[in-house]
Amino acid sequence: MTIKEINQAIDVGQSLRQIAQAYGEIAIIKIKKIRAAVERNRLFLNEIEGVYRTVKQQASLRKIFSKKPKKTISILLTSNFRFSGNIDINVIKFFIESTPKLATDRIVIGKTGLNYLKAMNYFHTYQAVELKEDLPKPLELHQLSQFIKNYTQVLVFYPQLSTLLVQKEVVSDITQSYVLTQNPQLVSKTVSQPGIIPLVIFEPELAKMLDFFENQIITLLLEQTFFEAELSRTGSRIMSMDQAQIGANDFIQDQERLKAHIQRVEENAHLLDRLTSQTAIRRRKLILNE
């Protein structure tokens, strides 16, 4: 490898480091912008989910059921873009491992998930959905909500931010149907259920409240999963870009060491040539003097 080639490699490494630094800084700005709002909404919607659970439980006790033609649908949320680390792949693998146990229809959202499943020849049928951005526009969210409203149970597989260093793959039953089934362990958001469920007085009527939750609140809960996924991917991107900068620095240092080694070798070779030339000249002078 020549000095010129090493200098070119160093230039490439420095460019990659600058790109990683820029992406990292953008991700930091983004996570500061959305994290507080997402976590605030998380607390609010967790309370809404609690009310929804109560409505579901009471409706079941009173034999009030929504008349929906379809049972379960599983939605996989992935990104349209790269540089999010392994979090999307982990969610896809979690989805692949979990859904064969279920009698479910499937929706895959995002180019990452669609490309991955296509590459591995995923044999289950699924509906592909590509959004313009990772966060759906109001019309896109409305269309998706209208599609899933015919299902009794909606499971959403997505990444969730625990801390900046930890993003985990989760599945959430946004319809709260798991409280009525014998298989609640699939859902990551566990709920402590008392042995006796007290009767509650509802205003307005329970049937109307159930209809409201299943036609209005579901959209909010679905939207929150998109925000949670985006927050997690942004956190993962920060860590990935940090690792990329470390990798670029290591690469540049390796090239600098290689460059210094080659320069020393060349300098030693030049020095040896000079010494050899001087020795030859001295010998010639001695011969001529004799």
Q: Indicate which CATH number applies to the domain containing 91.
A: 3.40.1380.10
- The region, left, alpha or beta by phi > 0 then psi within -120 to 50, assigned to residue 110 is left
Considering the domain architecture, whether residues 157 and 253 belong to the same structural domain is answered as no
Q: What is the pLDDT of residues 168-181, one digit of tens each?
A: 889 988 887 764 44
Per-residue pLDDT tens over the stretch 194-226 = 444 455 655 667 677 777 777 778 888 898 899
Query: Residue 47: which pLDDT band, with cuts at 50, 70 and 90?
Result: confident
Q: For residues 287 and 30, what is the distance between their CA atoms, to the nearest angstrom?
A: 80
The verdict on 129 and 54 lying in the same domain is: yes
Residues 229 and 257 in one domain: no
Alpha carbon distance 142, 255 (integer Å): 53
Q: Which of 30-34, 152-156, 241-245 holds the top average pLDDT?
A: 152-156
In terms of domains, do 87 and 203 share one?
A: yes
Q: Are 246 and 154 in contact (CB under 8 A)?
A: no
Residue 16 domain-assigned (yes or no): no
Give the DSSP letter of residue 174: T
Domain of residue 148 covers: 23-242
| CA–CA distance, 217 with 262 (Å, rounded to integer) | 67
Question: Domain count of the chain?
Answer: 2
Mean pLDDT of 134-150: 89
Least confident of 184-193, 198-207, 250-259: 184-193
Question: Do both 158 and 90 map to the same domain?
Answer: yes
> What's the pLDDT band for 74 if we cut at 50, 70, 90?
very high
Are 224 and 81 found together in one domain?
yes
Rounded to whole angstroms, what are the CA distances from 233 to 20, 140, 244, 261? 15, 20, 16, 41
Mean pLDDT of 125-130: 90
In this structure, are 182 and 76 located in the same domain? yes
Q: Are residue 184 and residue 249 in the same domain, yes or no?
A: no
CA–CA dist 119, 252 (Å, integer): 34
Residue 136 DSSP label = P
Q: Please, where are the H alpha helices in 162-217?
A: 206-212
pLDDT recorded at residue 184: 41
Q: Which residues contact 150 (CB under 8 A, 6 or more apart)?
A: 68, 69, 70
Is residue 130 scored above 60 in pLDDT?
yes
The answer to whether 110 and 131 are in contact (CB under 8 A) is yes
